[in-house]
Amino acid sequence: MSQTLTVSLDKPIAATRLLDGYPQSEGIPASSDAPADSATQAACIATGGSEAQRTAFSQACQTLNGVVAKLNDLYARIFTEHGEEIARLSVEIARKILMQKVEKGDYEIESIVKEAIMHAPSRHDLVVHLNPDDLAQCREAQQHGEQGGALAGIKLVPDPNIERAECLLDSPKGIIKSLIDENLERIGRALRKEE
């Protein structure tokens, strides 16, 4: 069993000398070539040790930078390869959630119509086509809404070709559709562009 040897000195060490034939570390001169004074000898030892440390540290940094670059490349490649699938899955999840809400009637048709009206080029002679199930709720909001509100003065017509929670605005300047599938497709395109 090995034991540790401890030496206690009363005074600090004033000088040191390397022994002849003792194995040398890189950067430290052998004792026959060693500078005569201890200060020069200590400087040689310190320089050799710190240079070796700098070299090792520099190599470690280069290795680490290489690993980071490879990880960044891998992340970018994986995200690019799977970005289309991520966007598609996100849209499908949103579609399922929306369809569940529509089936339960958990939506406000007035808000959907008001949003579509905001995108209309003009409110003049505007006709809103709605699913017959949504028409009654929208007419009630129109009658009980504030005077001059978003639905005031707009003609509401039933259209069995329009799904629940959707509407179509017909104006002299064009048609605006607020359809769930088209909105989800627009969101999907926006997600794919962000990649």
Q: Give the per-residue pLDDT at 17.
A: 64
Taking the chain, what is the end-to-end CA distance rounded to the nearest angstrom? 64
Q: Give the per-residue pLDDT at 172.
A: 87
Q: What pTM was computed for the model?
A: 0.54
- In the chain, where do the E strands start and end? 127-130, 155-158, 167-171, 174-178
Reported as half-sphere exposure (CB side, CA atoms, 13 A), residue 41 has a value of 14
Q: Give the per-residue pLDDT at 169.
A: 94
d(CA 179, CA 90): 18
Strands 127-130 and 167-171: antiparallel
Q: Please report, in tens digits, the pLDDT of each residue of the chain (195 residues total).
A: 566 667 677 777 777 666 555 555 455 555 444 445 555 555 555 555 688 888 888 898 899 999 999 999 988 888 777 878 888 898 999 999 999 999 999 999 999 999 998 888 877 889 999 999 999 998 888 888 776 677 888 899 999 999 999 999 998 888 889 989 998 998 888 887 765
Residues 6+ apart with CB under 8 A from 17: 31, 34, 38, 41
Closest of 160, 165, 192 to residue 177, by C-alpha: 165
d(CA 183, CA 79): 24
Domain boundaries, the chain: 24-106, 107-179
Three-class SS state of 136: helix
